[in-house]
Amino acid sequence: MDWAILGCGYVGGRLARALLKEGHRVRVCARNVARLDPLKQAGAEVHAIDAHKLRAFGPALFGLRSPVVVYSIPPVPGMPPGEAIRRATEASLGVGAARFIYLSSTAVYGETEDGATVDEESSISIGDAQAGPRIAEESAVDGARLAGLNTIILRLSAIYGPGRGVRERLKKGDYQLVDGGMHFFSRVHVDDLVGILRAAVDRAPAGALYCVADDRPSTQKEYADWLTARLGTKPPKEVASLEAGKPRRAVRNRKVSNARLKRELAYTFRHPSFVEGEAAIEAEQGAAVPAPVPAPAPAPPEPRPLPDQRLLPRIREIEKSWTEVILHELRQLIVHLDADRFAEGSRLLERLAQLAGLLARQLESFEISPEPMRLEAIAAEVWTSYERARGRHPQPALLSLARALSEFDAAMQRWRAPQPGYFPSLKVEG
């Protein structure tokens, strides 16, 4: 299939690489084409465009057969709002584009009620300075849909991934917590965004609109604290949204629902929360560290270790990252238990049981690992919280949580085998 990415930056680059690997024809376009050189090396066609120019898009799409066009250029300053994308849709109609995907933003919601959840039906904020240009662009896409273009609009929450997001800013030391960081925000890992975009091309009805975010919004502080502890960086600077003599810092306190995209596209997130997403970034960045150049082999050469033994250090590294994830989640479980949030606690445990099961399966052919031992102290704390909850509530209220706890323990036992479980006195009745 032919693809054109108009405004190929962070997301476009990641999408282009995935498509090229599958053998698609991919044309990538931006003003600064030198930055697209690595994609050219990977097989992409590179085309210079400047959205300001009247006839930018026709030549950019020329020669492509029924392409999927991804419009990823941010609102263009100095042009009437919506004008650049209107021209891109016209050029797309001109080449008989199979689909036109616009990467919009949840900025369209402007100021929302504190902590509100927004979805595709929520009202957009026409008067808001940041929302206005995006709303104009979405209207232009809607106009093109009426003219027969097969469109999709994705309203994106904050994108993070390797080399992009809060992690990088904490490392640089320029991340700031606004008003104590107690406001919620949603995010999506770039690879999930690419997956959702591909699923939408295959399955979304013409004119579809989706809000794009993972399953777990968090406060700015929760995310920053978690990352700071993990990276060992200095805590971010705290600033106020209102400072004398300065324009107000925009703070959006909202959660973005992904229910429609999950329902209509049957999409399963690879990284349902930042916990899995950040662990994947570490795994990817760890894997990207060049291996030290091996010293010349002495004669006679040692027999090479079996392939599974060569894999072991990598697997152990990944196991270590997952142990951190489990540690973090068990701390969260204690918070849920102490607040009597048993349904949340059960869901969290179900995910942890899956994860521990995965680790157990992956590691069963290797010797016993020391990693699960690192969870003993927190497991004891979980048990204390659980017992306290049992003191406050009758057994039926805790039934599904107890089942989930027991399944998690069973999975942990398989991982730790052959030692006894963490919660040997747990009894599930009913």
Ligand X SMILES: NC(=O)c1ccc[n+]([C@@H]2O[C@H](COP(=O)([O-])OP(=O)(O)OC[C@H]3O[C@@H](n4cnc5c(N)ncnc54)[C@H](OP(=O)(O)O)[C@@H]3O)[C@@H](O)[C@H]2O)c1
Interaction site with ligand X (CB under 6 A): 7-12, 30-32, 35, 49-52, 72-74, 76, 103, 105, 156, 158-159
Q: How far is the CB of 50 from ligand X (least distance, A)?
A: 5
Give the separation between CA 226 and CA 175, rounded to whole angstroms: 14
Which residue is nearest to ligand X, using beta carbons?
A: 9
On the 0-12 / 13-18 / 19+ scale of CB atoms within 10 A, 403 is: middle
Residue 273 or residue 323: which is nearer to ligand X going by CB? Answer: 273
Q: How far is the CB of 404 from ligand X (least distance, A)?
A: 34
Neighbours of 89 (CB within 10 A): 25
Instruction: Answer yes or no: are the C-beta atoms of 187 and 213 closer than 8 Å.
Output: yes
Instruction: Answer yes or no: are the C-beta atoms of 86 and 140 closer than 8 Å.
Output: yes
Q: How far is the CB of 76 from ligand X (least distance, A)?
A: 5
Instruction: Answer yes or no: are the C-beta atoms of 342 and 401 closer than 8 Å.
Output: yes
Q: How far is the CB of 236 from ligand X (least distance, A)?
A: 18
Residue 48 or residue 327: which is nearer to ligand X going by CB? Answer: 48
In order, the DSSP letters of 263-293 are HHH----SSSSHHHHHHHHHHHHHHHSPPPP
Q: Return the ∠ at Cα 128 (arms to 127 and 132), rounded to 5°.
A: 80
Give the separation between CA 109 and CA 254, rounded to whole angstroms: 10
Q: How far is the CB of 28 from ligand X (least distance, A)?
A: 9
Q: How far is the CB of 3 from ligand X (least distance, A)?
A: 15
Token representation of residue 278: 């950040």
Length of the chain: 430
Q: How far is the CB of 108 from ligand X (least distance, A)?
A: 10
CA dihedral 262, 266, 272, 277 (to 10 degrees): -120
Q: How far is the CB of 23 from ligand X (least distance, A)?
A: 23
Give the separation between CA 389 and CA 338, rounded to whole angstroms: 7
Tell me how far apart the 2 most distant CA atoms of the chain are, in Å: 76
Name the nearest CA neighbour of 343 among 389, 295, 409.
389
The SS3 assignment for 2 reads strand
Strand duo 208-212 + 187-189: pairing: unpaired
Residue 10 or residue 366: which is nearer to ligand X going by CB? Answer: 10
Name the nearest CA neighbour of 109 among 120, 124, 119, 127.
124
Q: How far is the CB of 165 from ligand X (least distance, A)?
A: 8
Supply the Cα-derived Rg of the chain in whole angstroms.
Answer: 25
Residue 257 or residue 413: which is nearer to ligand X going by CB? Answer: 257
Q: How far is the CB of 387 from ligand X (least distance, A)?
A: 43
